Amino acid sequence: MHSILAVFRRELALYFRSPVAYAIAFALLLFLGVLFNGFIAQANAALSFGSGIPADAGFAPNLLTFLMFLIAPLLTMRLLAEESREGTLEVLMTLPLHESSFIIGKFLAAWAYYTALLLLSLVFYVLQSFIGVPDAGVALGAYGGAWLYGGAVLAITMIWSAVTEDQIVAAFLGSATILVLYLAEIAAIWIAGQGSSSLVADFVRELGLQAHFSVTLAQGIVRAEDVVYFICVIIGALFITTRLVETRRWRA
């Protein structure tokens, strides 16, 4: 545990000393702000006609999870790829530090930064109280689901950071992987439309990210299988990353 905390503190400090981290936060809030301004304009127009638009408690977490195919690779591409390219990974591997502690510490730092982004987005939930009454249950499910979703996506993109020394390649492969998992729902619909076995379509759907977030957690519906899915993805991805780093250590 001490080793994990040491790596976590080091990586978290690097995040908040990096201009990239602040650029991501600024760009995210700016993007959400522009979209929220459009939402307010729609609400005002509806009110002028005597109707209203219900407050969307999942506004920010829904958009944030969609943008994770861009954000996650930017957060994880340097975690292992940069250290491998600069030769510091091999040096760290000579220390009395287990690979799993090293990987978990780095992952938790990335997840902590993502959590900070998620907390910053709460400002839009507060602002919605001025135009309606956001459903607290939906908000809890959406934000909790977005937190788990982010952890799963970060863990997946870390795999590519362990595979290649090139940060750009790691970011591209990570982004492509997340997009594939994000669009699995559409692929499942297409497969079902081709007359294929419903088992295949169901498998593809359940493999994707959206089946466990947008139709359940984002709506305030908490199912045990969705929580278990994200936890299993995190554990599985970190296990694969650890094995990849161990392989590199044996070769060294």
Report which listed range, 48-57, 103-112, 242-251, is most confident: 103-112
The Cα–Cα gap between 205 and 25 comes to: 31
What is the percent of the chain where pLDDT is above 70? 83
In terms of pLDDT, which residue wins out, 200 or 64?
A: 64
Buried/exposed 130-165: b ≥16 CB within 10 Å, e otherwise: ebeebbeebbebbbbbbbbbbbbbbbbbbbbbbbbb
pLDDT at 47: 59
What is d(CA 121, CA 104) in angstroms, rounded to the nearest whole number? 26
Taking the C-alpha atoms of residue 104 and residue 44, their distance in angstroms, rounded to an integer, is 47
Q: Alpha-carbon distance 53 to 43, whole Å?
A: 5
Could you read off the pLDDT of 170-221 as tens digits, one per residue? 999 999 999 999 999 888 888 877 776 678 888 888 899 999 998 899 888 9
pLDDT of residue 50: 55
For the cut 70, the answer to whether the pLDDT of residue 46 exceeds it is no
Mean local confidence (pLDDT), 221-228:
94
Write the pLDDT tens digit of every residue in 103-126.
999 999 999 999 999 999 999 888
63 touches 35 (CB < 8 A): yes
The string of pLDDT tens digits covering residues 74-97 is 999 888 877 666 666 655 666 666
Determine the pLDDT at residue 95. Answer: 62
* DSSP H helices in the chain: 2-17, 19-48, 59-86, 88-93, 99-120, 122-128, 136-163, 167-182, 184-193, 198-207, 224-251
